[in-house]
């Protein structure tokens, strides 16, 4: 059974999202940038020298997750951590020249993905699709699933 025969919107959405994610990961792997890292590079490009606490809040991840991510990114030379000049307890994160190059690669990859994904879409279809995705996001963001988990 081919993808055209899938009736469930949820399953089709999942398959498209997974294919998109796997393709992006594959394209970025040669640039030393891995899943989860592009938002951090963008955040630092917008405001370099953020504290680890600020970055974790910006990215909506736990400080422990950020610490692991920063360790990997330091090893590949994308970022560097330095103590704050006024408070040695605070670690500030800076994007390196290699990090800026990685971000250029990310931006090029995302541009290619957008062009590829929406190649056969009209401007109107893109506007409608964006509106529908925003509605899905809003639906999920406001859904109350707590009673189903307990």
Per-residue model confidence as pLDDT tens digits over 84-100: 999 989 999 999 999 99
| Yes or no: domain 3-119 corresponds to CATH 1.10.10.10 | yes
Q: What are the pLDDT tens digits along the chain (150 aa)?
A: 567 677 888 899 999 999 999 999 898 887 788 888 999 999 999 999 999 999 999 999 999 999 999 999 999 999 999 999 999 899 999 999 999 999 999 999 999 999 999 999 999 999 999 999 999 999 998 998 877 776
The phi-psi region of residue 36 (left if phi > 0; otherwise alpha if psi is between -120 and 50; otherwise beta) is left
What's the rounded Cα separation, in Å, for the pair 95 and 78?
6
Pinpoint the alpha helices (H) of the chain.
9-29, 37-46, 52-59, 63-75, 97-117, 123-142, 146-149
Cα(46)–Cα(140) distance, rounded to whole angstroms? 28
Q: Where are the domains positioned within the chain?
A: 3-119
The distance from CA 142 to its chain's CA centroid, rounded to whole angstroms, is 22
């Amino acid at each position: 059974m081919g993808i055209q025969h899938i009736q469930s919107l949820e399953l089709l959405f999942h398959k498209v999202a997974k294919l998109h994610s796997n393709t992006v990961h594959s394209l970025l792997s040669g640039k030393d940038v891995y899943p989860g890292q592009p938002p951090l590079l963008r955040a630092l490009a917008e405001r370099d020298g953020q504290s680890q606490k600020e970055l974790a809040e910006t990215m909506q991840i736990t400080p422990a997750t950020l610490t692991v991510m920063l360790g990997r990114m330091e090893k590949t030379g994308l970022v560097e951590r330095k103590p704050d000049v006024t408070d040695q307890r605070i670690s500030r994160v800076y994007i390196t020249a290699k990090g800026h190059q990685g971000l250029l690669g990310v931006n090029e990859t995302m541009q290619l993905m957008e062009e590829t994904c929406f190649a056969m879409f009209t401007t109107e279809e893109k506007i409608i699709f964006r509106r529908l995705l925003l509605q899905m996001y809003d639906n999920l963001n406001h859904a109350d699933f707590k009673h189903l988990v307990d």
